[in-house]
Structure 1
Amino acid sequence: MWDSGQVATGPITSGNRSTDISYAGTTLTKNSTTYYWRIRFWDIDGVSGWSSTAQFTMGTNTIPNAPSTPYAEGATNPIKVGDITPEFSAVFSDTDAGDTGAYYEIEVNTNNTFTGTVMWDTGQTATSIANGVRSPDYIYAGTALTLDGEKVLLIQQE
């Protein structure tokens, strides 16, 4: 996969740790693969033997959790919404602490199983949401809604 070859480094006194040497081989993926490695040093008299074999295992990158606490008009499951262009948001959460939300999709339908009339589907839309943070409000831009008091809009975020 990768062999750094002989690379000059700053002086390392006997018994002390070297500076970090960055991997520069084929891109590694977060897929639980275990890799093995070893190191050796040179001085003015020649090359040492190899270190004992060491290993490291790449972490896994998991999909984000389903959005928590979906909001419409800043509330959870609001009733008597009077705005025909409501705003939607939710909290992004991922067990991979450094990950951020990169895309969102919002679906608005007349049926809670999403087999009714599709009022709006944003498709996959680019965004940037920090882990554990509520997304910005996304404004409804779908089919005109009627405020007859009878229709209940159902929202699904994926």
Structure 2
Amino acid sequence: MFTFDPESDALKPMSRRKVTITAPAQMLRGARRKLVVEAQPLPSLGELKIPANKGIEKLLVLVIDDRVRDAETRDEVYEFEKPLTYVIEYTKEDIAATTLNADGTPRLSIVTGYQTQDGWKFERLPTKVTPNPKTGGGTLTAQVKTLQPLDPKWISIP
């Protein structure tokens, strides 16, 4: 498990929300290998256009730009037989930027994106929203089986 918390001075330029990533060992080149997850400095992306057909109304906050590597060889890994699990903490401010679902949970989700020659591509991940009444925020949880190179994650509506 890898946790990136912007409350740590060293991680402020690499994460805008607390993110915990569970990266199970994977079969790579015929052997089970441990993975490491590293946070990269967050890129300055400016205003990004989201295609209408993606079901993404608005990107709220760029959260993390992570890389997953084979712990032994340091090669980047993009495909996962056992998915990675992302848990991203959302805040009261994130809730204030959206509306609530019928069940009272905020309309938030995790979005992954990557740049191509044709511009940015986005995918809204199936996201479990878990409010935390003690903090006024909560967590967003999603699984990822495939990453693209340079694949940051956002909190979005929805």
TM range (shorter): 0.3 to 0.5
Judging by fraction of residues, say which structure has more helix.
Answer: 2
Question: What's the TM-score, normalizing by structure 2?
Answer: 0.35
Question: What's the TM-score, normalizing by structure 1?
Answer: 0.35
Judging by fraction of residues, say which structure has more strand.
Answer: 2
Structure (1 or 2) with the larger CA radius of gyration: 1
